Amino acid sequence: MRQRGIILCTLVVLFSFASARDWPTLQFLNFWPSARATGLAGCFTGITDDAYTAYYNPAGLPFLQKQMVASTYNPYIPGFYPDMYYLNISYSAPLKNNQGFGIFLPYYTDGTFDFTDVNGNYIDVRRSYAFAVVGAYGNQIKKNLSVGGTAKLVYFRGYPTWNYWWENDCGYDIPCGPGACFAVDFGLLYKPVSRLNVGFTIQNFGTRANSPGSGESQPLPFQSRLGIKYGPLAKNKTKTLITAELTKNLVGIFYDPANSLTFLEQLNYELKDIYKSVGTEFSVHDIVYLRLGYFEDIINDMGGLLVLCNDRVDHVSIFEYLFNSKVRGSKIYKVGLTYSIGITYKNASVDIGTDQYIYDFDTSNWKFTLSYQF
């Protein structure tokens, strides 16, 4: 077991460095898949009571109490481009002998666009899209420890538009197609004490997305998640759950082609490139659920605090704002908050959530989730 772990870690590191020159594609594989997850700023790796356990951490599947199914629709950041949307269906269920099984089916489209030839002559209107078929399995190997994995087949069909999009001569986040690729996830879930879950996953470790339409090849959005969940704490028919998560992009880590940075400078950059999020969920009578989250990805200009500093508007972390004298006291324009609300009646739930405040441009980004347990 120890040798297998060493081999796996070695492969992860080699894969990360091998992808150093590339920007990952098919980012829809990492979208927060539900309104509840969005309200918690994506902090879900340690949660094991949801239909989307199959997506976030397959190791949580054996701890489910019931079968669960859910579907989410998301008109994706229409302030950026009005015709993009994301939708999915997820099913998670416990099995006998401390096992669990799940299926996750996400679909994403960049929208429709005018398809032209290399000279800009109009041909017709086409839609760029991608979807995945994901199977998940989890096994509880000890009373407080479980492991899991997923296998996913991804199909994409982006069209070259020559002069319309700027990335890969194709859709915004979909390679020229048609094409397909394969990936796997690995997950761990540990319950050290009552009410406390610690989850860890590695996601989208797989083949590259080869683009027959452009001859390009890009890595998948390979990443790791480390999350904790504490609760729920019950009092007077109310419950409170607290969760936090760190997410790290593993594509191209420590990439310095000019060899201009010291190891400590590179390490500082990689630590800054960790997405950080916290969230809390408050429920009343197990009927009404209110959620609030905070997210920051400073390297990619998402979330955190959007402030005016040195005559420019920039994203800074909350810790930098509090402890850096050059930033402290700057005018805050926006805070990277997320929120959602849910209503549960018997075995059915409806949730609505948004993360629109993590973007530095005006947009909405609502997610609508219907779920049922049986």
- Distance, CA of 146 to CA of 301 (rounded, Å): 35
Mean pLDDT of the chain: 86
Could you tell me the pTM of the whole model? 0.88
pLDDT above 90: percentage of residues in the chain: 57
Rg of the Cα atoms in the chain:
21
Assess contact for 129 and 136: CB atoms under 8 A: no
Strand partners, 288: 284, 343
Assess contact for 171 and 158: CB atoms under 8 A: yes
- Distance, CA of 91 to CA of 95 (rounded, Å): 13
Strand partners, 230: 196, 242
Both tokens assigned to 81: 């481009």
Give the torsion sign (CA, 18, 198, 41, 81): positive
Structural domains of the chain, with CATH: 2-373 (2.40.160.40)
Q: Burial level of 372, CB count in 10 A (0-12/13-18/19+)?
A: middle
Through-space distance between the first and last CA atoms of the chain, rounded to whole angstroms: 36
- Distance, CA of 102 to CA of 151 (rounded, Å): 11
Amino acid at position 294, single letter: Y
Q: For the segment 66-114, what is each residue's pLDDT rounded down to a tens digit?
A: 999 999 999 998 877 778 899 999 999 999 999 999 999 999 998 877 7
Q: How many CA atoms lie within 13 A of 346 on its CB side?
A: 1
Assess contact for 108 and 76: CB atoms under 8 A: yes
Assess contact for 109 and 85: CB atoms under 8 A: yes
Assess contact for 231 and 195: CB atoms under 8 A: yes
Nearest 5 degrees, angle CA 358-CA 29-CA 224? 80
Q: For the segment 320-368, what is each residue's pLDDT rounded down to a tens digit?
A: 888 887 888 788 888 999 999 999 999 999 999 999 999 988 889 999 9
Give the torsion sign (CA, 339, 243, 227, 59): negative
Give the torsion sign (CA, 346, 337, 245, 55): positive
Per-residue pLDDT of the chain (374 residues; tens, 9 = 90+): 444 444 444 444 444 444 445 678 889 999 999 999 999 999 999 998 999 999 999 999 999 999 999 999 999 988 777 788 999 999 999 999 999 999 999 999 988 777 776 677 777 777 889 999 999 999 999 999 999 999 999 998 876 544 333 344 444 567 766 789 999 999 999 999 999 999 999 999 999 887 655 556 788 999 999 999 999 998 889 999 999 999 999 998 887 777 788 888 888 888 888 999 999 999 999 999 999 999 999 888 899 998 887 778 888 888 888 888 788 878 888 899 999 999 999 999 999 999 999 998 888 999 999 999 99
